[in-house]
Amino acid sequence: MKKRIFSGIQPSGNLHLGNYLGAVKNWVALQKEYDSIFCIVDLHAITVPQNPEELRRNTLELAKTYIASGIDTQSATIFVQSQVSEHAELGWILNTLTKMPELDKMTQFKDKSQEHRENINAGLFDYPVLMAADILLYDTNVVPVGEDQLQHVELARTLARRFNHQFRETFTVPEAFIVKEGMRIMGLDDPAKKMSKSASSELNYIALTDSPEKIREKVRRAVTDSGKSIRYADDKPAIRNLINIYALLDNAKPEDIEQSYKGKGYAEFKNDLAEVIVDFLGNFQAKYNDINDKDVLDILETGRGKGKSLAAKKMEDVREKVGFLQ
């Protein structure tokens, strides 16, 4: 039996290179070896205000993004979280096993409640419990995510153990999967902060939908470190970040990139990096534009069926253990 991976992204707008390199690229690499489930987590997305029509559009577009990135729709399951109601149900049950201080310390909650001061809702606070439900419903072994999600995967592990202890063995205890170079892609305008779609400046990120001109401009204007040499080092956070992006897209080692730019300047390095990104995203966008809505809807319908049958079976076991009348 293959082990299982499960991961998800919120359909809340354009993805950027950080999402791709931190998460989706690893999904593509792992999908042959693992039984793979990739979710579009729209229940998570509504923890911040969404326009309903845009949310529906973004959900379809995120499915296309998964497919254009190389997720194999024959072998992997792609589905929309809200279409499998067991996620919300298990989330509720896990709520009753979660302590307030466990949620209080979550970095993402602290950040997002700073960002959305006018709407610090209970869902935002409870977000990691729903994420634990996503993961545990499918007996997930491995969760490929960026570094910012580690704390949440840790909670999923805690809740699995706690439930198993209280109600007997039920859930697999999952592990996070992280690739060092991609785990935290930093902002191009500020290498001290992670690349983020909610950044105040467009120069922070490269969206997967950016045009070649935009990509070249953003790379040219990316901040660099003092000094002139292209070094992969902790005291050169801006260049290190650019080398990481280059290495991951070019399937090379950061040290080899560093070596090949010995004695060369920032301008040449940036020109080459921009072309690597333009090439990569050109391919991605061509595939993306080739996928039609009808095919995506069919894929999601198949995914819903598979997700639902696994989740329903798990929930029968959970309801029995908790003591609900069946």
In the complex, which residues of this chain contact ligand AMP (CB under 6 A)?
9-10, 18-19, 22-23, 145-146, 148-149, 182-185, 194-195
Q: Is 215 helix (H, G, I), strand (E, B) or coil?
A: helix
DSSP secondary structure string for all residues of 4-59: EEEEEE--SS--BHHHIIIIIHHHHHHTTTSEEEEEE-HHHHTTS---HHHHHHHH
Instruction: Judge whether 99 counts as a catalytic residue.
Output: no
Binding residue (CB under 6 A) for ligand TRP from 15, 41, 129, 219: 41
Our finding on whether 26 is near ligand TRP (CB under 6 A) is no
Q: How far is the CB of 83 from ligand AMP (least distance, A)?
A: 18
184 makes contact, choosing from ligand TRP, ligand AMP, none, with CB < 5 to 8 Å by partner type, with ligand AMP
What are the tokens at 78?
A: 């792609």
> In terms of Cα–Cα distance, which of 71, 17, 18 is closest to 40?
71
Pairing verdict, β 35-40 and 4-9: parallel
Complex with ligand TRP: residue 131 or 281, whichever CB lies closer = 131
218 makes contact, choosing from ligand TRP, ligand AMP, none, with CB < 5 to 8 Å by partner type, with none
Complex with ligand AMP: residue 93 or 145, whichever CB lies closer = 145
Query: Among 25, 112, 218, 236, which one carries the catalytic annotation?
Result: 112
Count of helices and strands (H, E) across the chain: 14, 5
Instruction: Judge whether 2 counts as a catalytic residue.
Output: no
Site for ligand TRP in 136-165 (CB under 6 A): 143, 145, 149, 152
Complex with ligand AMP: residue 39 or 93, whichever CB lies closer = 39
Instruction: Judge whether 197 counts as a catalytic residue.
Output: yes
What are the tokens at 53?
A: 């029509």
Cα(132)–Cα(153) distance, rounded to whole angstroms?
Answer: 7
Cα(238)–Cα(226) distance, rounded to whole angstroms?
Answer: 10
Our finding on whether 131 is near ligand TRP (CB under 6 A) is yes
Q: Which residues bind ligand TRP (CB under 6 A)?
A: 6-10, 41, 44, 131, 134-135, 143, 145, 149, 152
